[in-house]
């Protein structure tokens, strides 16, 4: 991401901070864009984005957003420390060139292979980068292994964000958590794996994949999330709108009828009822009387419109 784009994001976040009014949807989008970009130490120093994100983190009540901000700050601190360490290494290397050259010559004389030493260091690094828990999750079940491959493919479907965990390890942990809960690889297991795969690979829902890769959502948590919980922010908002619309439709005003104290409710014995009349059958038949008790909600439909004074109660 260009430095100008980082500055624009910084200004938008700073406006929210100045107003003490954080729009969680906009803030989430801006933080995710920062996660997906590769920011250099020079950009951090010029834009001051680190200070802004740290200030924003303290204002965010939402735990997920706060975790995203913390993860960003952690990665940037790591970048600063690595850059400082590299400078020290270069100074140390410059001052010990002669000693290093002498050592290499000695190794050649003694028949030692420098390439072999480098290979050993690389293997050691790879072992350290792989969690010991990942080794414990190994399985020989071909179906489970195929499920892990699918999940790893979904996690690797787009560019990995900076600070991302190993997709293969995460896939193994997700699959293992599903298997431990369901105890077999039956229909429920397959459905659970397919739903995780489709949601992680969904281009319209990139936040889910990024949050799993960065550890904001743990593999064990992802294994039990419902479809509604895994949905994208846009889909959640759309569902919320539809729910609100349905509630509003249910709450539309209705004819409450004519109130009267001449009718006694048989259920609660209160004289607090309302009635309405409607023609529900042919025109030559009497109207139907609908009676509702306002105290307990009990209601009944009278087949014929009776004189209220003659029929002071309803069953």
Q: Are residues 177 and 262 in the same domain?
A: no
Q: How far apart are CA 281 and CA 77, in angstroms?
A: 79
249, part of any domain: no
pLDDT digits (tens, 9 = 90+) for 273-304: 888 887 777 777 777 888 888 888 887 766 54
Domain of 273, CATH number, reads 2.20.25.10
pLDDT surpassing 70 at residue 90: no
Q: Are residues 139 and 72 in the same domain?
A: no
- Residue 255 pLDDT class (50, 70, 90 cuts): low
Q: Are residues 282 and 216 in the same domain?
A: no
Rounded average pLDDT over 76-91: 66
pLDDT digits (tens, 9 = 90+) for 175-230: 999 999 998 999 999 999 999 999 998 888 889 999 999 999 999 999 999 988 88
Q: Are residues 20 and 88 in the same domain?
A: yes
Q: Are residues 82 and 144 in the same domain?
A: no
pLDDT on residue 89? 54
272, part of any domain: yes
Domain of 27, CATH number, reads 1.20.930.10
Q: Are residues 164 and 221 in the same domain?
A: yes
Range(s) of the domain holding residue 288: 258-314
Total domains, the chain: 3
206, part of any domain: yes
pLDDT on residue 111? 43
Q: What are phi and psi of 184, to 5 degrees?
A: -155, 180
238, part of any domain: no
99, part of any domain: no
Q: How far apart are CA 195 and CA 218, in angstroms?
A: 16
Can you tell me which residue has the tokens 């014929």?
A: 304
Share of the chain above pLDDT 70, in %: 75
214, part of any domain: yes
113, part of any domain: no
- pTM for the whole structure: 0.42
Q: Are residues 182 and 148 in the same domain?
A: yes
251, part of any domain: no
């Amino acid at each position: 991401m260009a430095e100008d784009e980082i500055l624009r994001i910084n200004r938008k976040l700073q406006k929210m901070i100045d107003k003490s009014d954080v729009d969680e949807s906009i803030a989430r989008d801006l933080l995710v864009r920062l996660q997906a970009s590769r920011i250099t130490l020079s950009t951090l120093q010029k834009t001051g984005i680190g200070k802004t994100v740290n200030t924003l983190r303290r204002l965010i009540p939402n735990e997920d957003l706060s975790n995203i901000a913390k993860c960003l700050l952690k990665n940037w601190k790591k970048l600063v420390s690595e850059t400082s360490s590299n400078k020290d290494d270069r100074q140390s290397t410059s001052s010990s060139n002669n000693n290093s050259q002498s050592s290499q010559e000695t190794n050649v004389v003694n028949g030692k292979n420098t390439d072999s030493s480098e290979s050993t260091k690389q293997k050691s690094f790879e072992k350290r980068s792989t969690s010991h828990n990942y080794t414990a999750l190994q399985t020989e079940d071909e179906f489970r292994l195929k499920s892990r491959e699918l999940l790893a493919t979904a996690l690797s479907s787009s560019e990995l964000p900076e600070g991302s965990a190993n997709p293969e390890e995460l896939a193994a942990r997700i699959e293992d958590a599903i298997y431990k809960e369901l105890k077999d690889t039956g229909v429920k297991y397959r459905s659970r794996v397919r739903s995780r795969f489709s949601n992680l690979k969904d281009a319209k829902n990139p936040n889910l994949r990024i949050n799993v890769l960065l550890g904001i959502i743990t593999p064990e948590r992802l294994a039990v999330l419902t479809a509604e919980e895994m949905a994208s922010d846009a889909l959640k908002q759309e569902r919320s709108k539809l729910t609100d619309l349905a509630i509003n439709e249910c709450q539309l005003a209705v004819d409450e009828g004519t109130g009267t104290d001449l009718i006694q409710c048989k259920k609660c014995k209160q004289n607090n009822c309302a009635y309405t009349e409607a023609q529900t059958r042919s025109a030559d038949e009497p109207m139907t009387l609908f009676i509702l008790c306002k105290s307990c909600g009990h209601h009944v439909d009278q087949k014929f419109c009776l004189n209220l004074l003659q029929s002071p109660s309803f069953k």
